[in-house]
């Protein structure tokens, strides 16, 4: 073969090699771009899964704390009438009855004190409004309204039953009578 032919063949081979290298480079660049996109997608999925797991852990912890604090609220609500009845029994006894049945009255007082102690131990506090305080719809329930001279509208004029809080949640509002605008 002639020297010129050999040069042409070498040149053709070099050109074919460069084109092959360019094709391989393009294919590798596309594959690299696809791999980066796939990596970014997996990273995003991983971060979302991690955030979901963290949120689930926090939600579970919050639910556990709430169940611990407020899990007995149904039982506590069911015991409130017992408290009310013991209180009414003591309020109904006059001095003569207290003298005659002092041991019975003392037993009822001790039972009421023990119930209040158990309530306190479990985070149940009474809401005991006084006559003359302002009505608060967050912790009081108005049972009636009446115009009473010498009061302002919204003042508590009578307390029927005490309310109760379980930690910071209202178990039962205090039932009260409220003054309406007094007639002059």
| Domain edges within the chain | 1-70, 72-122, 124-184
Q: Comparing C-alpha atoms, which of 147, 126, 136 is closest to residue 176?
A: 136
pLDDT digits (tens, 9 = 90+) for 93-149: 899 988 898 999 999 999 999 999 999 999 999 999 999 999 999 999 999 999 888
Q: What is the residue-averaged pLDDT of the chain?
A: 88
| Confidence (pLDDT) at 73 | 84
More confident residue, 21 or 134: 134
124-184 in CATH: which number? 2.30.22.10
């Amino acid at each position: 073969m002639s020297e010129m032919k050999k040069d042409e063949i070498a040149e053709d081979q070099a050109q074919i090699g460069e084109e092959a290298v360019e094709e391989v480079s393009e294919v590798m660049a596309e594959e690299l771009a696809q791999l980066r996109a796939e990596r970014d997608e997996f990273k995003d999925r991983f971060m979302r899964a991690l955030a979901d797991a963290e949120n689930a852990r926090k939600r579970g912890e919050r639910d556990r704390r709430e169940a611990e604090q407020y899990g007995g609220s149904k039982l506590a609500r069911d015991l409130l009438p017992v408290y009310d009845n013991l209180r009414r029994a003591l309020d109904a006894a006059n001095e003569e009855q207290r003298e005659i049945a002092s041991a019975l009255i003392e037993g009822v007082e001790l039972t009421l004190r023990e119930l209040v102690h158990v309530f306190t131990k479990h985070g149940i506090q009474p809401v005991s409004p006084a006559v003359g305080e302002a009505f608060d719809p967050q912790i009081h329930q108005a049972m009636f309204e009446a115009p009473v001279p010498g009061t302002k509208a919204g003042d508590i004029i009578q307390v029927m039953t005490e309310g109760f809080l379980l930690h910071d949640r209202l178990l039962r509002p205090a039932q009260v009578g409220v003054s309406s605008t007094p007639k002059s």
